[in-house]
Amino acid sequence: MACILCLFPDTPPNSNEARKGSSMAQQSDLILARVNNANTFQVDLKDAPCVDPLACVANCVCSAYGCTACYWRKRVLEQYGNGIQDFVCFQGYMPKVCCVPTEGCFPGSPIGICLEGFCCTVFSLSITRIMVMDRKNIKPNGTDYQIIHFANCLGCLACVCMLASIVNPDLEEVAQCIDNLFTLVMLSVAGCMGVQIYHELKLDAKVAPTGAAPHAQQMER
C-alpha cells in the first residue's frame, strides 16, 4: 500500500466539493479541519507496520469484524471521559451518514458502540482517531492526505467503471475489483490507525480521566 500511496501528493486536497455531502467527504473534511493543530502522532500511519507489526496485523484483521472500532472507542471514552456513558453515535462528528441522521443516537449505549463499529467499521475507528487528535491537539500528516487522494481516485474510478458497465457488462467485474481493493486498503489503514491510537493511549496511561465527555462540541479547539 505504501508504494501506491507514494504516487499521490502528501499535501492537503484543495477541496472535496466533488463528493460534498458523502460520508467519505465528511471524514476527509474532519481531517482537513485539524491541519493547523500543533502536535503530531507518536507513530506515523506509514510507520505503524514497522513500529508495532503484531498490533498492526491484529487491528487490521479484527477491523474486518468491527472489533477494532468497538474496542478503541471504548478505551478512548474510558481514558479521556466517563466511559461508555459518554458515547453517542459518531460522537456528534458526523450528523448524517448515507442520508441517515445519526446525531444523538444511542447515547451511552453499548449496543450503539457495537452497531457503529460493525456497520461502519473504518468510519467509526476514524472518528475515534479524530477524538484523540482533538484531545491532544494533533494535526494530520502527509500520509493522511495521500489516503484522501487515493480514496478519491478509487471512488471516481469505480464510479466510471460502474457507469461504463451499463454499456459493457464486462466492466462490472472491474468495478467490483476496484471496490474490493478499496476495502482492503481501508482495512490496512484501520490496522495502522489502531496502532496510532494504542501508542497515544499508552503515552497518556498515567493521566487521570478529566471526566469531560469527549464529544465533538466539547473537544474541538
Would 83 be classed as within a structural domain?
yes
pLDDT at 29: 81
pLDDT at 67: 94
Would 129 be classed as within a structural domain?
yes
**Domain residues for 71?**
54-206
pLDDT, tens digit (0-9, with 9 covering 90-100), for 54-109: 999 999 999 999 999 999 999 999 999 999 999 999 998 887 777 777 777 889 99
Confidence band of 32 (pLDDT split at 50, 70, 90): confident
Q: Give the residue-averaged pLDDT of 34-43.
A: 91
pLDDT at 221: 40
Would 1 be classed as within a structural domain?
no
Would 29 be classed as within a structural domain?
no
Confidence band of 4 (pLDDT split at 50, 70, 90): low
Would 211 be classed as within a structural domain?
no
E strand residue ranges, 24-158: 96-97, 100-101
pLDDT at 50: 93
pLDDT at 110: 93
Confidence band of 174 (pLDDT split at 50, 70, 90): confident
Average pLDDT along the chain:
81
143 pLDDT above the threshold of 50:
yes
Confidence band of 217 (pLDDT split at 50, 70, 90): very low
Determine the Cα–Cα distance for residues 173 and 201; give it in Å rounded to an integer.
42
Query: The C-alpha cell of 185 is what?
Result: 486498503
Confidence band of 180 (pLDDT split at 50, 70, 90): confident
Counting the structural domains of the chain, the total is 1
Confidence band of 30 (pLDDT split at 50, 70, 90): confident
- Residue 45 burial (10 A CB sphere; 0-12, 13-18, 19+): buried
DSSP state of 169: T
CB-based contacts of 146, cutoff 8 Å, min separation 6: 5, 6, 8, 9, 10
Confidence band of 196 (pLDDT split at 50, 70, 90): very high
DSSP state of 33: T
The answer to whether 131 and 76 are in contact (CB under 8 A) is: yes
Radius of gyration of the chain (CA): 17
Confidence band of 145 (pLDDT split at 50, 70, 90): confident
pLDDT at 101: 78
Would 39 be classed as within a structural domain?
no
Would 214 be classed as within a structural domain?
no
Q: Give the residue-averaged pLDDT of 170-197.
A: 86
Would 73 be classed as within a structural domain?
yes
The answer to whether 190 and 127 are in contact (CB under 8 A) is: no
Determine the Cα–Cα distance for residues 193 and 190; give it in Å rounded to an integer.
5
DSSP state of 212: -
The answer to whether 85 and 111 are in contact (CB under 8 A) is: no
3-state DSSP assignment of residue 39? strand
The answer to whether 41 and 172 are in contact (CB under 8 A) is: no
